[in-house]
Amino acid sequence: QIDYTGTEPSCPCNKCLNVSWDSPCTCTINFTLEHSFESNVFMYYGLSNFYQNHRRYVKSRDDSQLNGDNSSLLNPSKECEPYRTNEDKPIAPCGAIANSMFNDTLELFRIDNDTRTPIPLIKKGIAWWTDKNVKFRNPTGDGNNLTALFQGTTKPVNWPKPVYMLDTEPDNNGFINEDFIVWMRTAALPTFRKLYRLIERKNNFQPTLQAGKYSLDIAYNYPVHSFDGRKRMILSTISWMGGKNPFLGIAYITVGSICFFLGVVLLFIHHKYGNRNTSADIPN
């Protein structure tokens, strides 16, 4: 994990700490991988103290609009307020979830003899298949020109560009942009991570990421300092047992310990007070 929030004065991203949505900043953090990553690598971005589980925040979206319904595109749900319209134009996509979409840009480089070699990052295949192909669709109409299909709408307030300019590839643009889809699946806890990019293994003879020096270039656009949040980049891989996720293990140990403690308490109560006379006869 690389924390690049920049709250520490020694952090290269400290100069970007008070960045706003419309004033991007760039910084670079160097780090070292002690061990090689042999299989496919997953790059995540992580946020802390960000409550995506707030009731009004979770409801602030229009699923019909996101599914490509043309009438909802121009007349979004009232659940999106106050991010339903802007300057008398409907917002696409509307709502607080879309308006707060994570927009930092992360690039990874390997440093070898002072030479920086970019690591190819794959931006497709990071969203759930059902989200990409069922829940999210672009509006329909004559032709595939997204600029024309989204005509009459405006971008979310905090976005630098409209939804039809999220990517240059038509199958990853508009409402079916995978970065957007990943963000729209809200997290249950205030500290979470979301898949950002994939790093695929090229062959079976070399690790995906060799041990050594690397640098992370960050286009620091997403402000978190105002609500005491933190941002981090996470590199993870999988083994034959899957990915590392300690939450279930901690939950099972906690619940098991509570059950064991209650079992001991109930056993003590049973032995101490369980031999009472239960006869219905009233003694003389």
- Summarize pLDDT for 10-55 with one digit per residue, the tens: 989 998 888 776 677 899 999 999 988 888 999 999 999 999 999 9
Average predicted confidence (pLDDT) for the chain: 89
Position 280 confidence tier, pLDDT thresholds 50, 70, 90: low
Q: What is the pLDDT of residue 24?
A: 75
Q: Tell me which of 238 and 211 has the higher pLDDT.
A: 211
pLDDT of residue 244: 65
When pLDDT is averaged across residues 81-95 and rounded to a whole number, the result is: 93
pTM recorded for the entire structure: 0.83
* Average pLDDT score over residue span 149-153: 91
pLDDT, mean of residues 48-75: 94
Say if residue 198's pLDDT is above 70: yes
Q: Residue 100 pLDDT > 70, yes or no?
A: yes
**281 — pLDDT class (breaks 50, 70, 90):** low
pLDDT: is 278 or 248 the higher one? 248
Are 106 and 43 within 8 A, CB to CB?
Answer: yes
Q: Where does residue 166 rank: exposed (0-12), middle (13-18), buried (19+ CB within 10 A)?
A: buried
Query: How much is the pLDDT for 243?
Result: 62
Domain boundaries, the chain: 2-238, 247-271
Per the DSSP assignment, residues forming a β-bridge with 238 are 243
